Structure formats: structure tokens, C-alpha cells
Amino acid sequence: MGKNKLERFEENLTFPNLFQVSYEFLQQNTFPLKGKWNSDFFKNNNPIVLELGCGKGEYTVNLAKKYPNKNFIGIDIKGARLWRGCKTSNEDKMGNVAFIRTRIQLIENFFAADEVSEIWITFPDPQLKKPNKRLTCERFLSYYKKIAKNNSIVHLKTDSYELYDYTINEVIAEGKYPVVFHTDDLYASDFYDDVKDVRTFYEQMFLDMGKKITYIQFKLQQ
Ligand SMILES: C[S@@+](CC[C@H](N)C(=O)[O-])C[C@H]1O[C@@H](n2cnc3c(N)ncnc32)[C@H](O)[C@@H]1O
């Protein structure tokens, strides 16, 4: 039987690559690894890739295995889900993986300007009634721009046609954020790269329901 939530929270405290600090801590202190992830934690100069709303962290863990010369950090507010990625990355002794339990709105407390090179957004809640909470709305993109290098790639993989359509036609329209590729039916498209290599927990549920998966790759420009 799987571990229950409390057991996972307990074990989360033992993972050296999981960071969880309170909002109050962030109000009064600078997060110790802000601007220092590579020098003080990963101990290399490799690019840092984020997975936002990572849940169990499938992209974080699987891409980290595929790309040992990149560093991957998964971010989610739910500790019981993060436990899965933490457990696997520790069991497999993966030095290029970390997780942060926090709200994505607080991301600039954890990273300095230009510290991040690429961002994956995997099956976020589409927030159909609250556009201001969508992970691709201008408010969230402005958080990402504060920490990402100019021209960093953002990947949005979602089952929500509404979120796909909103992102393409309302947010990144008019060339403000150049689109590299987009499709409203990923698995029917010829496009092939990491986006087809990993299926997340939610993705598999949506595929089992017969839903199409959409994908947008665009650039964050300052
Ligand atoms: C639908 S789940 C997808 C999880 C995973 N990416 C997957 O595909 O299986 C959305 C995830 O985003 C997280 N999330 C939503 N809003 C968030 C926020 N503002 N900050 C941090 N995590 C958030 C939720 O906790 C949840 O794990």
C-alpha cells in the first residue's frame, strides 16, 4: 500500500534536495540558494530548467536522467505529490535534481535574475474562471521574466483547449513572445522532442479519457 500523506510529509523532511520554507521566512530572509543554485547546490555551471506545478515531477526526473549536463528543479505547493519525485531522485542518487515546495507566485524569492534557462509548465489547472491565476497569464510571465535569461524557452503542455487557445491568441499574440511551435493535437503532429518522451500522471489520465494534448513552445523576451 502507498504511504499516506502524513508519512510522506515526514519523509519529505529527510530529503536533502527538497526545499520548503514558509512565507514568513521569505519575508524576513533571503532564500540562501537564491542566485547560488549552481555554485552552492549543484556545484556546476549547467543550465537550470524549471518544471512549474510539477506534481510528482515526471519531467524533472526524466529529463534530468536524459540530460545529466542540465540541472532540473520541480516546483509545486503540494508536498505529498512532490514526495514521489524526491523519493525517486534520492533513490537514484541524482545530483542534478531539486524540488521546491512553494507557490509559483513567490518564485522570484528563490532565483536571481538570469538564473533560469528554460521552463516547463505541465498540465496546469486551466483556471477557466480566474484568468489571473493561469500560469501563462501576463502576471505569471512577468514573474518568470524576472528570473529567466532573455529568450528562454517556455513549454506549455495541456489537455485544456481553452488554456491553449487563450495562451496562443491572447497572451503571446502579436509577436511579444515568439512562438517556436504549437499544435492543438500533439500526438497527431510530426513534432518530436522531449515533449513526447515523458507522460505525466495527469497527462496519462487525460489520454485515457481520450482527450487531445496540446503544446506550445515560446520564448520569453524581456
Ligand atoms: C493538474 S496538476 C498537474 C501536475 C503534474 N504537472 C502532472 O501533469 O501530473 C497541477 C499542479 O499544479 C500545482 N499548482 C497549481 N497552482 C500552483 C501554484 N500557484 N503554485 C504551486 N503549485 C501550483 C498543484 O498543486 C498541482 O500539483
Same fold, 1-106 and 113-222: yes
Residue nearest to atom 15 of ligand 1 (CA): 53
Its pTM surpasses 0.85: yes
pLDDT at 2: 62
Considering 40, 125, 159, 190, which one is annotated as catalytic? 125
| CATH T-level assignment (fold) for domain 113-222 | Rossmann fold (3.40.50)
pLDDT by residue (tens digit) across 150-166?
Answer: 999 999 999 999 999 99
> Mean pLDDT score of the chain, rounded to an integer?
96
Among 44, 188, 52, 40, smallest CA distance to 122 is for 52
Which residues 6+ apart lie within 8 Å of 177 measured at CB?
141, 154, 171, 218, 219, 220, 221
Q: By the 8 A CB rule, do 185 and 158 touch?
A: no
Residue nearest to atom 22 of ligand 1 (CA): 76
Indicate the DSSP class of residue 95: T
Once rounded to an integer, what is the mean pLDDT over residues 45-54? 98
Domain ranges in the chain?
A: 1-106, 113-222
Q: Answer yes or no: is pLDDT of 1 > 60.
A: no
pLDDT by residue (tens digit) across 62-106?
Answer: 999 999 999 999 999 999 999 999 999 999 999 999 999 999 999
Residue 211, judged by CB atoms within 10 A of its CB (0-12, 13-18, 19+), counts as middle
pLDDT by residue (tens digit) across 61-74?
Answer: 999 999 999 999 99
Q: What is the Å distance from ligand 1's center to 136 Cα?
A: 13
Please, what's the b/e burial string for 97-126 (b: 16 or more CB within 10 A of its CB; e: otherwise)? bbbbbbebebbbbbbbeebbbbbbbbbbeb
| CATH T-level assignment (fold) for domain 1-106 | Rossmann fold (3.40.50)
